[in-house]
Each structure stands twice: as C-alpha cells, then as structure tokens.
Structure 1
Amino acid sequence: MNQLIRVAIYARVSTEEQAEHGYSIDAQLDTLRKYCELYGREIAGEYVDRGVSGKSMKGRYELQRLLLDAEDKKFDEVIVWKFNRMARKNIDLLHIVDQLEKNNVAFRSFSENFDTTTSMGRFALQMMGAVGELERNTIVDNVKMGHKQRAKSGKHNGKVPLGYRISKGERERDSEIIIVEEEAVVVRYIYEQYAAGHGLKAIANALNHRGSTTKSGKPFSICAVRDILDNPMFVGKIRYNRYENWAERRRKGKTIEPILVEGHHPAIVSDELWEKVQLLRQKKSAMPKKRFEGEYLLTGLIRCPECGAAMTASRTVNRTKDGTKVVRMYYSCGRFRSQGSSVCHANSVRKDEAEQAVTDRIRQAIENPDIIKKVVQSVNERRTGRIKPLQDELAVVQSRIDRLEEKKRKYLDFYEMDEMDRDMIAGRMNDLNRELDVELTRRSKLQLELRGDQAEPVSYDLVRSLVGRLDALLRRSPFPQRKTLLHLVVKRITLDDRKRIDSVELAFNEETEKHFLSLAPSADNIAEGAFPFEGKAARLTQNLTIAI
C-alpha cells in the first residue's frame, strides 16, 4: 500500500502583481487544492504570503513558517502554482529548495510540471529559475530605460526634495513640479549660510533651533544639509542614475557618468550661489579629515542616556600650565554631534572607563554564579510573560480576520442576488481584500513570534557557557577581533543618569555561536584572523538575548 503523501501548499502575490496582472491568491489555492484532491494527496497545511514581493525573504512570514515546519517533518512535499511564487531570484529559489531537500521535502511546481525528486526535475528548476530571473531583470531594465529617458528629457523621477511639490494634472504626464515657498526659504538659508563660511553642523544646529524640519518632518542632520547642498535640482537641473542597484549595492554602486541635464522645473537658488557653494564643497572635501588616536571598541554600541541615540568617538585636546598637550578620548551622543544642542547634549563618557566597565561586567557575571542565575530567571520569565500578550493580540487579529471574511461573504451574496451596483461591490471587495492582507500578514508574524517564545526554557549551563566563551575571547584576542566580536554579540549598552554603565545587552544566535564562539584553533597555533578558543561547548539552537 502506497504511503499517503502530505503536501504543503504555498501561495504568494505582491500588491503590484494583483493590481497589474490580476493574480489571485484564491485562484492559486483553488487550483492547488484540486490538484491534491485529484492525485490523492493530503494537504498538511497552507502557507500564504499576501501583498509581499518575492525579490527577498524579508517580511515573508509564511515562507519562514513553512521552512520551520519542514524541519519538523510536518509534510513530504511543497507545491506552488508557479516556481516564481517561491522566489524571484534564482539564488534564493535554489537556497529554499536546498533547505527543503535537506529535510527530505520535495518541491513541485504545478504550472511548470516538475518536481525536485528527479534529476531532470532539479535541472528544469534551475533552468526555469534562470529564465524567470532573466524575465524579471528584463522588466527592471525596461523600467530603468524609461526612467533614464525621462531624466534625459529634463523630467524628474520619484519624490521631490524639500522646497518642491508635484502639482497633479488631469493626466499624469501633465503633472509639474512647483516651488513650496515656505520650504524654499529653508533651502536658500542653507545655501547662504554655507556660502558665508558656516559648517554643516552649525547650519543643522541653527535650523533645529529655529524649528525647521526636513521633508519627512525630522530634525536636520549633517547628512541632510549636505544632501541639499549637493543636489543640482535646486539650481534647475535634473540629476539621475548616480547609483546603480541601490537596493543591493547602496553607495558602492556609484556610476562614473550620471545623467545631468537642464530640467523643466524652476530653480530655487541662483547659478552664482550654487557655483560658490560647490567651490567651497570641493575645497573642503580636499582638506585632511580629522583622525582620532586610539582604538574605540564600543562606537555605536553605547546609547545616550538622554535621547537613546548611538554614541560615537570624540576627543578633547587641552594644554597644561607647562604647555604639555593632553588628549582625552570620549564617547559622545551621535545626535548631538550631528544635529546640535537643540536635539540633545554631548553626555560624554570617558572611553577607557566605559570599555573597562563593560569587560568587567561580563567578567563579574562569570565569577558570580548568582548573576547568571538571575539572568536566566529573567529571560525565562520574560519569555513566558510575552506569550499571553501575543496570544491576546493574535486573538484580536483573528477576530478582525473573521469579521472581514464575513463582510466579504455578505457582499458576494449581494452580488449573486444582483441587489447592489456591481462596480461598487467590486470596489468594496478590493478594499476588504487589502485590509484582509494586512491582518493575515500580522497573524503570520505573531504566530512566528509565539513559536519562538514557546521553545525550550533557557538553561543556566548554556548561558554560562556563552558568556564564559565571550569573556575568554575578549581576554585573549587582539583589538580587531575584540571589536568585531563585541559588535556581533553586544546589542546595546545603556547608561544610567550618572553616565555609568547600567546594562550590557548581549544577543546570541546560531550563526555567531557557530562561527565565533565554538571550537576554534588554540591560541598557541592560531591563524591570522581566527578567534582563539579551546574546548567544546553546547550548541545554541535558538536566538537568545540577555542583559547583564
């Protein structure tokens, strides 16, 4: 007798796909359910990501739940309507299928009619994945080509900066960019102040004291002022394609020859003022940067006790009565250094004292078992305490889902009875579907969080082992490894109102434990760049955050 095959159905549709191509989650599910019924397969579960793009794993909570259930052997096969429902990028698709295969779970596509239990099926998957990625990249290239052509003709793409807004015409192509005078005043002030010799921080500080904000309503920072000074849109030009593939490469994707042409929009600053500012920007960029002596271990990890921003390296230089130069190094509030005294204050702490206090705190936890016991008790109580609120929130979300589903059923009844205008019903159904997608995504996220909180309680031995290994590495590693390790493991360091170390929050996960806190070469025979540690330790199987 053949064993009944348990199948997991996965479906996904992005908001754009549903709007542009009419893709439907319900149609995907209906097709796959009928397939399972026809071939005598048992549906073990349905996993649906609604309104989520397939270009990455981010935000796809149902896919993450599916992979966890695959590890728990809850099904034998995963089936999708089309392979690109699982992933848009070939490398992501192959990674997901590899994870499934490691758990003896097959992957099958209904439309392409292949499965990964055969060599030809795996080959077909790779080829179809490559073709799918080519199709997606071709669409992206065509969109980019259209944007480039629009930029070359002097038209702006995307959002407009401070000082402008888009005035909508009857047709989209009739829209134009106009000046918002109350914002343009701020832009001109920035240019005039910089041309008068004021620095970026001084301008940001002055703007924040005046109550001015950026386009998004936030206080001005050095970066915000710099971006305005470097944007040729304010002098009536259109600049486009400075960076390629921003989502993946960020500023590393800078192009050699961006598009720069005269625009159709009005200028906010004069050519003379723009040229003067650019000359000053060029001169200042060639000046040597300030360099701090010393090695700062905790940059970005210590949090300002006043505003909570990350604290960065700073120093003061004083001279004694006999003329000797004395350099003192600190950690100071990053928002104060970037946005000035209207936003926060320096709240500086001595570098050496802060770093010593952090390493002492970790060492004391190892030397005093009571500290670790209290940490373990706190972690387990916190996890237990989180379960009830999450369950309550999940119940509320489920109630909203039930109400929305009931409303959909009522509108369908009206549709069948022809008692209401069909266009109005269609519009209302679209609104309900959008609301439902939001609630279903929230439910998936809550279910994942609950799954993590209901794992095995954290043990004293595990926590002591992790903190002990961290302490051993900090004692024996050179500065680059110590800084890397701290930035991998330390989530945040908080100060009390007297600017002393209040707590050190450590976050451990499987990757950091495997690569940095597990068995490694001994200190006597260590390869360059390795983290010295001897002995074998218990494996971490879950994310763990503790505060000491």
Structure 2
Amino acid sequence: MKTAALYIRVSTDEQVEYSPDAQKKALFDYAKRNRILVPSEYIFVDEGISGRKAEKRPAFMEMVRLAKKKPKPFDIILVHKFDRFSRSREDSVIYKSLLRKDCGIKVVSITEQLEDDKFSIILESMLEAMAEYYSLNLADEVKKGMTEKAKRGGLQTSASYGYEVKEQGTLTVVEHEAKIVRYIFDQYLNHDESFYRITKRVNEMGALTKKNKSFDNRGIEYILRNPVYIGKLRWTPTGRFKRDFDSEEIMIADGKHEPIVSVDVFEAVQEKIRTRKKIYKPKQRPIDECKHWLSGLVRCSSCSSTLVYTATKAPSFQCRGYAGGRCKVSHSITVKKIERAILSEFSKFISGKETKSYNIRTTSSVDLEIEALVKQLDKIYTKLERAKEAFLAGIDTLMEYKSNKELLQQEESSLRARIDELKSKEDKCNMDAFRERINVVYDMLVNDNVPMIEKQKSIRSIVSEIRFNKTNDTLELDYYL
C-alpha cells in the first residue's frame, strides 16, 4: 500500500469549494478509493497564503524538508488541483523535479488526471501556465482597484501615529499622540534637534508607538517625512516601501482627514532634512555624542577610517583602522596640533590666501536638482536597455524599437543639457559670501564660551570631510558652499 502526504492551500479570497475542509474531504475520498494510506502527521495546510512564492508557505516548505529524508516518508503528494501545489511555473518545475528525481515522490492532482506519457507533460504545463496567468491577472486587477482608491484619497494602510481609523475607513486625530507629533516637528524645525535627540526626549516623556514600543531614529524620521500629517495619503503600488521617500512609484493624494501640522512647517522640515542628509553621513555617530568638534570629520589618508578622539594627558586623534589592526599606517596627531592647523587653514581662506588643500561642493537647491536629474538619467539608461531586450525578444518590431530609442535619446540629451547648465551656475559661486561664513565659524571655534555641540554644528555646516596625511603632514578639506 502506498503512503501519501496531503498538501492543502487556500487563499483568503477563494470560495467555499476550495476551503481546507472541502479539499481534505476530497483528498481522503480519493485516497480511500485508491487504497492509499494517509498518516495524520503528513497533512500539510497553508491557509490564507498565495501560491506565488514557495518560500512564503511554511507548511509547503516543511513538507519538502520531510520529503528529502532517507528513507522517503511517503510515496506521493496528493493535491486537489495542480494550482494548489504552486501558481508559479518556475516553482512548480523546480519542486516537482526535486521531488521526482531526488526523492522518488510524485505530485498527483485528484481532479486533473494525467497519464505517464509525453502528452501529459504538455497538458500539465498548460494547466500550470493557465493557473499562473489567473494569479497574475488577479494581482493586476487588485492593484488597479487599489490604485484607483488611492487616487480618490482612500485609506489602504493602518493608521499612522497620531490617528486612528473610525467608521467608513476615515482617519481621526488622537489628540495625545498628535501632541507628540507636533512636538517632534517643532523640535526638529525650531530647536535644530537631531533624530537621535528627539528620540531620546520622546522616550523620556514615556510616549510609545502604535505597537507599544519605544521610538527609534527611523521612526522619528518616518513621522517627519510622512505627508499624512498635512492631510495627504501616501501609497506605493508595488506594495514595497524601501524608505526611498522621493521614489516616483509613491502615490500621494488628498485625504479626508484633519491635518496635524501646517504645509509650511512640513515643507520647511523636508528642506532641512535634505540639507542635513548632504552634511551628515549615514550611520554617523549623533553629533551630541561626539567628544570633540572635529570628531567624525577627520579621516585617515591610508584607509579612509575616521580618526577617533583619545582623552589622555595629551589628548589626541588616532586612525580607527590602525587602532583595530586593519591599517598599517599610524595617523596619531595631538588635538592641539590639528586644531591649530585647521584654524590656520580657515584664517588663510578668510584673508584670501587659501592654499590648494581644499575642495568645494554645493548643497544648494542647484545641487539637489542635479542629483535628481542624474537619477532620471539612470532611469533613461534602464529604459533603453529594456527597449533593446524587447526588440531582441521579438516583442517590438524594428520600427517600434527605433522610435522608442529616438524618444529616449532625445530625453537623455535634454537632461544632459540641463545638468551642464546647472553645473555652469555652480562654477560662478560667491566666494566672498563663503569667506564670511567661514569667518563666523572661525569665531565660534576659538570662543571658549561656545558649547562643544554648537562648535560641531558650525564646522559641519561648511566642512564635509578632512583628510589627514601623516607621511606628508598635510590636511585636505572638503568644503560645502
């Protein structure tokens, strides 16, 4: 007597005839008629799960894991229909081949009887292709409906912090949470606080997220960049939000709820975030944790690691890589010496006697526009490659390919012309105004009454990086304009 495993899968949107109980009854009836033994431990059920991806079906993956054991625990796997096993042809081919060749186990559909001949292989492939087409078409129709709902300002996500969902799917302000939201915006915009400092203060106030957890830096940034607080709704048709807040895939529509902050405040915060992103590198230590106003700015010329501050009798900086054994060149320098060198460099710049030991780049709106245009260029290159692939695959004719290529190349030329125009504006920078900014920073750095954190902020407003070359005993500064 053969031994079988039963695999049962049902999606959330499927009818009663595909319910787990209905499938199980039909499978047991088939096993009984064909004298097949079905042990209870070999019944695998995935409920409310799509058949598109095997790795997201825990019962399916457990069944495959058991099937690989020696000796094999069962001879066949019974399914109600082949689309219960998988709605992805790729997964279906891979796992059926693995089970048949490596494990000696066959997958049998009790409602789609196939013989063991070459015509059955074609028929099985057709059934699988039809199931995959149905799955993809259903996903497209659902996405179309959700897209239309998003355009109308319909809510499709859970309530953001500061709101709750009331009847008819509308957002209502939760006042005690809204106060925290306003506090976060105020601290960032008007008190020049970092994500880190705001996180600490909000947690000290005892506030908790919607999941009853403490806030973190990412959560604070998410709140500050969420247009829901100005009465908008944000939705990503792909269903994947990768914290790319400027992605062209994101849809933003007018909502039907009360705003918590004004549009002016929100836009000012976005501009401030963009500027800070240019100045502070990702995962950099929070500014108020730095021990010196040069902490995090000075880098080793040999390995590019930052120089870390050491508070000894004679405070100094040393390459983090060298201290950890990764860099072969010591870049030790006393705090007094490097401070004196930096201040001397600033003094020369202010007087117009600057050396060639510096680079300048902008953080203005021009710089941001150039960055956005470069991203658009990358997308043009991707579209050109796809157009070529479509022609080579026989999807597009030669005329269609040429037409698409010409349009994309025209767009590319237009973008390049605009980038060149903006770069020419960058070259005409106002050095006198910049020298005045350096002068202000210089005055703050030499003033013993200015707190360390303010000195840090001031130098970071004009300097992005300092490279120290121990061998040549030189410093190279990258300035912001």
TM-score (norm. length: structure 2): 0.55
1:212 counterpart residue number: 207
Q: Is 1:202–2:197 an aligned residue pair?
A: yes
Alignment of 1:114-129 (within 5 A): 114=114, 117-129=116-128
Alignment of 1:308-387 (within 5 A): 316-318=308-310, 324-328=316-320
CA 1:136 to 1:250, structure 2 compared with 1: closer, same or farther past 3 Å? farther
2:22 counterpart residue number: 27
Unaligned runs of 5+ in 2: 285-304, 327-481
Alignment of 1:79-478 (within 5 A): 79-101=78-100, 102-114=102-114, 117-168=116-167, 174-196=168-190, 197-241=192-236, 244-246=238-240, 255-287=247-279, 289=281, 316-318=308-310, 324-328=316-320
2:129 and 2:204 map into 1 onto residues whose CA distance is 54
1:7 counterpart residue number: 4
Alignment of 1:510-521 (within 5 A): none
1:316 and 1:255 map into 2 onto residues whose CA distance is 36
2:44 counterpart residue number: 48
- Of 62-71 and 103-112, deviating more is 62-71
2:175 and 2:319 map into 1 onto residues whose CA distance is 47
1:75 and 1:328 map into 2 onto residues whose CA distance is 58
CA RMSD of aligned residues (A): 3.4
Give the total of aligned pairs: 301
Decide whether the 8 Å contact of 1:317 with 1:328 is kept in 2.
no
Deviation at 1:329, TM superposition (A): 7.1
Decide whether the 8 Å contact of 2:6 with 2:77 is kept in 1.
yes
Deviation at 1:92, TM superposition (A): 2.2
Deviation at 1:321, TM superposition (A): 6.5
1:99 and 1:253 map into 2 onto residues whose CA distance is 42
Q: SS in structure 1 opposite 2:54?
A: coil
2:216 and 2:279 map into 1 onto residues whose CA distance is 21
Residue 91 of structure 2 aligns with an amino acid whose one-letter code is D
Kindly, what percent of the aligned residue pairs are identical? 26
Decide whether the 8 Å contact of 1:245 with 1:253 is kept in 2.
no
1:289 and 1:149 map into 2 onto residues whose CA distance is 38
Residue 68 of structure 1 aligns with an amino acid whose one-letter code is L
Unaligned runs of 5+ in 1: 169-173, 293-312, 331-349, 354-548
Larger C-alpha radius of gyration, 1 or 2?
2
Q: SS in structure 1 opposite 2:73?
A: coil
1:315 and 1:214 map into 2 onto residues whose CA distance is 37
1:232 and 1:262 map into 2 onto residues whose CA distance is 10
1:283 and 1:94 map into 2 onto residues whose CA distance is 51
1:331-362 CA distance string (max 9 Å, x none): xxxxxxxxxxxxxxxxxxx9669xxxxxxxxx
Residue 224 of structure 2 aligns with an amino acid whose one-letter code is L
Q: SS in structure 2 opposite 1:57?
A: helix
Decide whether the 8 Å contact of 2:309 with 2:316 is kept in 1.
no
Decide whether the 8 Å contact of 2:181 with 2:223 is kept in 1.
yes
1:166-225 CA distance string (max 9 Å, x none): 111xxxxx3421111100001001100110211110100111111111121111111000
Decide whether the 8 Å contact of 2:225 with 2:245 is kept in 1.
no
